Amino acid sequence: MSEKLEGIVSPAIDTLLSKVDSKYQLVMFASKRARQINDYYSALHEGSLFNNVGPLVDSTVDEKPLTIAMREIEQDKLAKRDA
């Protein structure tokens, strides 16, 4: 049983927190992006791909949108906008 641990273990929470100002900001940033990825997959089934941006990192079918969003944050694929 040497399976690789995923989720909050990878990427490391410390790495993610260095990309934002607070834990709250990380949660808001990642959850918003995860909803966008989820909308993309929903639109993919409907045949409409023009309103949503898909994953910006390599991902597999079994990965959850939040995991993909966390990896995008870790790899600096997203830019945080100040509102």
**Domain housing 59:** 15-74
**pLDDT tens column, 24-70:** 999 999 999 999 999 988 888 777 767 778 889 988 888 999 999 99
Q: Does a structural domain hold residue 80?
A: no
pLDDT at 8 over 60: no
Q: Which two tokens stand for residue 82?
A: 């100040």
Q: Does a structural domain hold residue 10?
A: no
Cα 82 from Cα 64, distance rounded (Å): 26
Q: Does a structural domain hold residue 1?
A: no
For CA atoms 53, 26, 80, 19, the dihedral sign is negative
Q: Does a structural domain hold residue 39?
A: yes
Q: How many domains does the chain have?
A: 1
Contacts of 19 (CB under 8 A, 6+ apart): 26, 73, 74, 76, 80
Q: Does a structural domain hold residue 83?
A: no
pTM of the entire predicted model: 0.79
Q: Does a structural domain hold residue 46?
A: yes
